Every structure is written in structure tokens, then in C-alpha cells.
Amino acid sequence: MTQETGGFAALDLNPNIVAAVLATGYEEPSAIQHQSIPIILAGHDMIGQAQTGTGKTAAFALPILNKIDVSKREPQALILAPTRELALQVATAFETYAKQMPGVNVVAVYGGAPMGPQLRAIRNGAQIVVATPGRLCDHLRRDEKVLSTVQYLVLDEADEMLKLGFMDDLEVIFDAIPASRQTVLFSATLPSSIRSIAERHLREPKHVKIQSKTQTVTAIEQAHLMVHADQKIPAVLRLLEVEEFDALIAFVRTKQATLDLAAALEAKGYKAAALNGDIAQNQRERVIDSLKDGRLDIVVATDVAARGLDVPRITHVFNVDMPYDPESYVHRIGRTGRAGRDGRALLLVTPRERRMLQVIERVTGQKVAEARLPNPQAVLDARIKKLTKSLAPLVAESEASHGELFDRLTADLGCSARALASALLRKATNGQALDLAAVEREQPLVPTYNQRERSSGERAERGERSERSAGDRERRAPMPLAEGRVRCRTALGARDGIAAKNLLGAILNEGGLARDAIGRIQVRDSFSLIELPEDGLERLLTKLKDTRVAGKQLKLRRYRED
């Protein structure tokens, strides 16, 4: 057994769990895992103070899986998360770590998805329930006994849950599960509200506090590009037009994504190959050897498949899919900038992943600069530069070796030397657009998040900070509506302690909307106005009818401005 395997095995975890963890590429437990796992395995309540990105999901997922009784088809562990995105991420982590534990079932419970299948999954024996508080309370109203068998409770990012107004929902959930349960609470900060929950609902908890270590990657030039998920492949192709790289590794999350991106790159003439867990070891070695000796220039890989890959000629790393945590990001971009060489790392970020970008910057202690897609002029200049570079070695000797053939072709074709040279260039460049008008006519990308959507997100977060007083807020007329949106009203306002971010978080969490679908949020003294998409509004209002913000019902309804 290797030393790394011993690291997890020494924590007295089920060998099948250890094997699943190692298969994900993690080799040694992080500080939070090393301290928390023995405490949770021993059955103690615990308060863990740790930032996102320290490995805290595995810190509670691994010992809980170790304690689950697979023979019992009933809810045994409940993990509460503040947002749908985090709930899905945690559920995926549990499924990954349980891959070698037949019979373990995980269900994610969150707003914006049908309630029936979620409730059936719980009743049909999912041992692990990962849920947002608001949607879970919806289920408890239908079946108050649905959580009566829960033995383990985890509150993940408890401070964020309270910021989003879930205090009342948490109290409902505490009352619905057995008092004899084991409770674990994770929070980046421990304000008085969190301490109050711990005093009331945890029994003699052990405390674990982890300070995030700053990870430096100063030798590597880093940048990020905001795009939508369906823009990623076009964005990569556009970026490669202008990036001067020797060899490049592109990281994606799934095996299918390695195949899709590698195929798109090959179609554009790049020497690329996929590297994923389904590729046999001998084929993997051939791919790496080809990258080393120049037969390949680009490898598209998953984190697991790229483990141990060390190719000095890699000058660029593209994080096409966001890594799951900052440690993975640092590990990925460390593939470049080796042995004193320059390295460049680009990260594609979708609107929903901005929070993880902020976490990466906080953990690494470095700002990841913002980049933009190259414009048509930059693409044209890069294409001509590459063509010039490829022709330069040929010019000196070509006239001596092909001069007579050139003269014969111009005579046979009855054309000028310029016309023949142009035809040969067209043939050599496979019809690639090499004038500005043609480049501009090429299939355009949908405008990136930079140009299209930042304004709406920032407006929602700013709310009405520019309004000078409560009286001004009450008298100020609503702003003009964007096309396709309607204005909705809630009786919650500034005097209720409401901020725009509270309303935004509640609607994103329970309504299942993308962030860009929400327009302006105007917080007045005694009410608030929120712009929502007109299409599907009634369904959305039905989803939100029981939503609470800051402990009070949202009661959102369409606003009539007459």
C-alpha cells in the first residue's frame, strides 16, 4: 500500500470508500478531513469552521458513508445546503465516494424541480438526502414523518443559509428529525446566530477550525473568461486562434466532454486527443508520448486521467470546465510553467460559477485577471502571422526548386503570377478566411457574459442603494421594464431587514431560475419590486408561494402599475 493510500486508510474508513476517493485523484486527506473524520466517526457533534475549497465536503461525506447501514432502505443522513447548486455538488460528491458501495442511494432535493419524484425517492429508500431548506419544508408539509429515521444531520455553509433567510425553515427541520441524531455544522464564519443554533441543537460539540493556506502560482499568467455553458467549444476555438502555444492541456469534467472537444479541435486541424478513464493504460502512454515528442499538441483530459501527467513542453492550460475546488485548480495549472518556463492558464467561467472563481482567488491569494474573446481583427492578424511563419522557411529555396513549374503553370493557365500565387495560397489555407470582412462574417459567438449580462446581475445585487431615503424610495416611480419581463411585488421591504441580495438568493434557490433571468430588484421601505420573466410567471409564483425570506413569507404577486 502506498503512503498516500495509507493516509486515508489510517482514518479507519471502509476500504471501498478509500478506493473511490483515490479514484477521484485525491491522494491524502486535507487538514479539515484529517481532523473532522475521526470526530464524526466517533459519533460526536461537531462545529467545523472552514472556507469553501478546503475539502470540507469529503470531511463529512466520507465518515457518514462509513456509518450508513446499506441494508436499511430509509433516510439516515440529511445534508442541508443553502443553494440548489451546492446541493447538487454535494449529492454528486456522495455518489462519487459511494461508487463501490452497492445499495447506497442519494437524492438531491431542491426548488425548481418537480416535488413528486423527490418525495418518491425519499420514500423509496434513499439513505442520503441532500436538500435546500425551503424545498425540504415543502415536503415536510406533505409528509411530516418523512425524516423520522434520520440519524445524521449536516448543515453545510450554515452562515450562508441564515443570510438567505432560512432560520425559520431550519427550526421546522430540527423539529422534524429525531433529537438523538448526530449533528455536524460547517460554517466559514461563526456569528452569534450560528452560535445560538449550536447551543440549542448540538450536544457538547467538538470544534475544528482550519485556516486556508495561501497557495501561490505566481509563475503562471492566469486569466478568466465569462461565457455561457453552450459557448465553451466555440470560445476555445476562438482563443486558440490567437494564443501562441507549444503544447496545451484542456481540462473538462466528463469523459464525453473529452471526446466532444477533441473531435471539434481535430475538425479544425489541431493535433488533439482525448484522455479519460476509459482509455487503456497503453493507449494513455501513447497519447502522453505523442504530446512529449510533438505528434500531438493538445490533450483534452479529465482530472483523474491527467494524474501524473508531466510534459515540460506544455505552455498552456485551459480550464474549460470549472474544477470542483481550488486545490484542483492549482493542481491543474501546475502542469505548465515548469522548470522556469513561462506558463499561461485560462479559466472559462459560467455565470453560476462566479462564486467558485472568487473562492479560487481567495484561496490562492491571487487575482485571476479578466480576459475577453479576441475580436475579428485580432483573429485575422493571428492567422496571417501563422501563415507567414509557415511560409518563411520555404521562400529561400522554393524559387530554385519550383520556379520552372511556376512559370509553366502560369503559361498553361494563362494567368498572372499574382493570380496563381493567390490560388495556391487559397488551396494551402483550405479556404480559411484571411480578410477582415470574411472573418467578421464567420459564425459569430453569442455575446459573452461580459457584454450581455453583467448589468442585470449587478443591478439585482445593487438593488436600490442609490435611493437617498425611505421617503424617496416610497415616492420613486418604477423604472421602465425590459422586454419580456414583468414586475412583481412583495410586502417585504427595508423595514423588514430585507436587502436585494436576500430576495435574489431566495428566488434563485427556490424558483429554479438562472441568475440572468432576474432583472432589477428595487427595495422600498415597506415593499419591494422584482423584475421576472413573463413566460412561465404563474408557475414560478406557485413555486415561490411558501418561500420565506428573513423568516417572513415572500408572498410575491404580479404588480399592477395602474
What DSSP string describes 54-122? SSHHHHHHHHHHHH--TT--S--EEEE-SSHHHHHHHHHHHHHHTTTSTT--EEEE-TTS-HHHHHHHH
CA 32 – CA 209 distance, rounded (Å) = 8
Indicate whether 489 and 514 sit together in one domain.
Answer: yes
CATH code of the domain covering residue 292 = 3.40.50.300
Q: What is the predicted pLDDT for the residue at 475?
A: 40
Same domain, 364 and 429: no
Question: Both 505 and 529 in a single domain?
Answer: yes
Q: Are residues 328 and 436 in the same domain?
A: no
Same domain, 40 and 107: yes
CB 537 within 8 A of CB 557: no
| Same domain? 117 vs 176 | yes
pLDDT for 455 equals 40
170 and 32 assigned to the same domain? yes
Question: Can you give the pLDDT at residue 512?
Answer: 77
Last residue of a domain, one of 373, 402, 424: 373
pTM score, whole prediction = 0.49
Residue 267 pLDDT: 87
Number of domains in the chain: 4
Instruction: Confirm whether 214 is domain-assigned.
Output: no
> Is 308 inside a domain boundary?
yes
Per-residue pLDDT of the chain (562 residues; tens, 9 = 90+): 333 335 787 888 999 999 988 887 677 788 889 999 999 999 999 999 876 656 788 999 999 999 999 999 999 999 999 888 788 889 999 999 999 999 999 999 988 788 889 988 998 889 999 999 999 999 999 888 889 999 999 999 888 888 778 888 999 999 999 999 999 999 888 888 888 899 999 999 999 988 655 455 666 889 999 998 888 998 998 899 888 899 999 999 888 899 999 999 998 889 999 998 788 878 888 898 899 899 999 999 987 777 667 788 899 999 999 987 777 788 788 888 765 567 899 999 988 888 889 888 887 888 899 988 888 887 778 777 877 777 777 777 776 778 788 888 888 889 988 888 888 777 777 667 676 776 666 654 544 444 444 444 444 334 333 333 334 434 444 566 777 888 999 988 887 778 888 888 888 877 877 777 888 888 888 889 999 988 888 888 888 887 888 778 888 988 876 5
Mean pLDDT of the chain: 82
Whether residues 226 and 364 fall in one domain: yes
Q: Which has the closest alpha carbon to 84: 32, 135, 25, 123?
A: 135
Q: Do residues 417 and 548 both lie within one domain?
A: no
Contacts of 241 (CB under 8 A, 6+ apart): 374, 378, 379, 382, 383
pLDDT at 308: 62
Given phi > 0 = left and psi -120 to 50 = alpha, else beta, which region is 179? alpha
- 397 assigned to some structural domain: yes
- Write down which residue in 317, 346, 373 finishes a domain: 373
Residue 215 lies in a domain: no
Give the burial class of 260: count Cβ atoms within 10 A of its Cβ; 0-12 exposed, 13-18 middle, 19 or more buried. middle
Both 240 and 182 in a single domain? no
- Beta strands 247-251 and 182-187: pairing type? unpaired
pLDDT of residue 78: 97
Say if residue 169 is in the same domain as residue 46: yes
Q: Which tens digit of pLDDT belongs to each residue from 426-468?
A: 777 766 767 677 666 665 454 444 444 444 444 433 433 333 3
The range of the structural domain enclosing residue 168 comes to 3-209
pLDDT at site 476: 45
